[in-house]
A and B are shown apart, each in its own frame.
Chain A
Amino acid sequence: MKILLSWLTEFAPDGLGPIAQDPAALGDVLTNLGLVVESIEHTGNSWDGIVVAKVLDLQKHPEADRIQLVQVDTGGAASPAGEGLQICCGAFNMSVGDLVPLATIGTTMGNGMEIAQRKMRGQTSNGMLCSAAELEMGDDADADGIFILDAGLTIGTPLADALGAETDVVFDLDVEGNRPDALSVIGVARDLCAKLGVAFSAPVAELDESQPGANDLASVEILDNELCQRFGARVLHNITPGSSPQWMAQRLIAAGQRPISNIVDISNYVMLELGQPNHTYDLDKVPDGKLRVRMARDGESLVTLDGQTRNVTSADGLICDGTDTPIGLAGVMGGESTEISDSTTSVLLEAAVWDRMTIAKTSRHLNLRSEASTRFERGADPLGIERALARFCQLAVEICGATVAEGEIIVAGGWEPTAPVRLRREKCNLLLTTNLTLDEMANYLDRIGFASDPDGDAALIVQVPSWRPDSSIEEDLIEEIGRHHGYEKSGKLVPVPEQPGSLTPAQKGRRLIRRAFLGAGYSEAMPMPFLAPEDLRNAGLSEDGISLANPLVHEESILRTSLMPGLLKAVAYNQSHRSADVRLFELGRVYLANDSDLPDEPEQVAAVLAGASAVEATALLHEIAAVLSLPGMRLINGPRPGMHPGRSAEIQFWGKHLGEVGEVHPAVAEAFEIEGRVGWLRLETGPITTALSKPNKYKRVSRYPSSDLDLAFVVNDSTSAHEVSVAIAKAGAPLARSVEVFDVFRGPQLGDGKRSLAFAVRLQADDRTLSDSDVSTTRQKMIDAVTKKFEAELRA
Chain B
Amino acid sequence: MTSAHESMVSAAIAAIGAAASTVELKAIHAAHLGKQAPLTKAKSELGNLAPEDRKAAGQALNTARKTVEAALAEAEQSMARAELDAQLATETMDLTEIPSGTSVGHAHIVAQAWEELEDVFVGMGFRVAEGPEVETDWYNFDALNLPPEHPARDGFDTIYVNHGEPGQTVLRTHTSPVQIRTMLDQKPPIYIVAPGRVFRRDTADATHMPVFHQIEGLVVDKGIGLAHLAGTIEAFTTAYFGEGFSSRLRPNHFPFTEPSAEFDIQRPDGSWLELGGCGVVHPHVLRSGGIDPEEYSGFAFGFGIDRLALLKFGVDDLRELFTNDVRFLSQF
Contact = CB atoms under 8 A, between A and B. Distances in A.
Contacts of B41: none
A744 interface: no
A523 B329 contact: yes
A552 B167 CA distance: 17
B160 interface: yes
B223 interface: yes
Interface centre among B108, B159, B163, by most chain A C-beta atoms within 10 angstroms, is B163
Contact of B321 (A526, A529, A552, A596): A526
Contacts of A475: 258-259, 280, 282-283
A667 to B, nearest CB: 23
Contact of A591 (B105, B128, B134, B159): B134
A113 interface: no
A476 B252 CA distance: 12
- Bin the interface of chain B by size: 35 or more
Interface stretch (A52-60, A489-497, A693-701): A489-497
Given A475-B258, A490-B230, A579-B327, A550 B159 contact: yes
Interface string B156-197: 000111111101010100000000000000000101000001
Given A593-B163, A598-B132, A529 B211 contact: yes
B234 interface: yes
Given A487-B249, A498-B189, A523-B329, A431 B163 contact: no
A504 B162 contact: no
A574 interface: yes
A430 interface: yes
Given A556-B210, A593-B163, A36 B252 contact: yes
A503 B159 contact: no
Interface stretch (B43-51, B70-78, B115-123): B115-123
Contact of B118 (A478, A503, A526): A503
Interface string A506-529: 010001001001111111111111
A482 interface: yes
A320 B133 CA distance: 48
Given A488-B248, A511-B115, A549-B167, A357 B132 contact: no
A487 B261 contact: yes
A176 B234 CA distance: 25
A180 B286 CA distance: 26
A483 B322 CA distance: 40
Contacts of A523: 105-108, 326, 329-330
Contacts of A569: 324
B163 A598 contact: yes
B84 interface: no
A682 B127 CA distance: 29
A583 interface: yes
A573 B325 contact: yes
B125 A500 contact: yes
B2 interface: no
B60 interface: no
Contacts of B225: 429-433, 490
Interface residues of A, number: 92
A644 interface: no
Contacts of A570: 324
A546 interface: yes
Nearest to B103: A521
A599 B227 CA distance: 40
Interface stretch (B25-33, B86-94, B147-155): B147-155
A584 B134 CA distance: 26
A432 B329 contact: no
A585 to B, nearest CB: 8
B62 interface: no
A788 interface: no
A33 interface: yes
B221 interface: yes
B209 to A, nearest CB: 8
B162 A34 contact: no
Interface in A522-539: 522-530
A497 B231 CA distance: 13
16 contacts: A33-B251, A430-B223, A431-B226, A432-B225, A433-B225, A479-B251, A482-B226, A493-B228, A495-B231, A521-B102, A549-B162, A556-B210, A591-B133, A591-B134, A598-B134, A598-B164
Sort A-B residue pairs by CB-CB distance and give the 5 closest, nearest first.
A34-B251, A433-B227, A176-B253, A433-B225, A518-B105
Interface of A: 31-34, 36, 176-179, 356-357, 360-361, 364, 377-378, 429-434, 473, 475-476, 478-479, 482-483, 487-488, 490-504, 507, 511, 514, 517-530, 546-552, 556, 559, 569-570, 573-574, 577, 579, 582-585, 587-589, 591, 593, 596-599, 601
